[in-house]
Amino acid sequence: MNIRLLFRRSRIRLAVWYTLVMGSILGLSGLGMYRSIVQSNWVALEREIESIAGTLHDSLEPMLPASGDPAGVLQRIFPDLCVVGQACTIHPTLIQRHTTGISDRSIYYIRLFDAQGTLLAFSPNQRFQLSDRFNPISWQTLYGNDGRRYRQFTTILHSAHHPTTESDYSSWGYLQIGRTLTSFDAETRRIQWILASGFVITLSLVVVSSWWLSGLAMQPIYQSYQQQQQFTANAAHELRSPLASLLATVEALLRIPNPDQQSIEIMLPTLERQGRRLSDLIKDLLLLASLEQDASSLKFQPCCLNDLVTDLAEEFLELAIASNINLTSQIPPIEIYTLGHELQLYRLVSNLIANAIQYTPAGGSVIICLESHDRIAKILVKDTGIGIPLDQHRRIFDRFYRVDSDRSRKTGGTGLGLAITQAIAQKHQAYLHVDSRIGQGSIFTVEMNVINYH
Each domain of the chain, given as residue ranges in start order, spans: 3-161+168-190, 215-292, 298-449
Reference 176, options 217, 126, 223, 226; nearest CA is 126
Asked whether 392 and 412 are in contact (CB, 8 A), the reply is: no
Asked whether 440 and 387 are in contact (CB, 8 A), the reply is: yes
C-alpha angle with apex 400: 397 to 221, nearest 5 degrees?
70
Among 1.10.287.130, 3.40.190.290, 1.10.275.10, 1.10.10.10, what is the CATH number of 215-292? Answer: 1.10.287.130
Backbone angles phi, psi at 186, to 5 degrees: -65, -40
Residues 6+ apart with CB under 8 A from 290: 296
Asked whether 382 and 355 are in contact (CB, 8 A), the reply is: no
Reference 133, options 174, 75, 187, 74; nearest CA is 174
Asked whether 58 and 246 are in contact (CB, 8 A), the reply is: no
Domain 3-161+168-190 is in which class?
alpha beta
What is the predicted pLDDT for the residue at 47?
93
Cα end-to-end distance, the chain, whole Å: 59
Per-residue pLDDT of the chain (454 residues; tens, 9 = 90+): 577 788 888 889 999 999 999 999 999 999 999 999 999 999 999 999 999 888 888 877 777 766 656 666 676 677 777 877 777 765 555 444 544 445 566 788 888 888 888 888 888 766 567 777 888 889 999 887 777 888 999 999 887 655 545 444 467 888 889 888 989 999 999 999 999 999 999 999 999 999 998 888 888 888 777 767 776 776 676 677 677 777 777 777 777 777 677 767 777 777 777 777 777 777 777 777 777 666 555 678 889 999 999 999 999 999 999 999 999 999 998 889 998 888 889 989 998 999 899 889 988 999 999 998 888 899 999 998 888 888 777 777 776 766 654 444 445 556 677 888 888 888 888 999 888 888 888 999 999 988 876 5
CATH of domain 298-449: 3.30.565.10
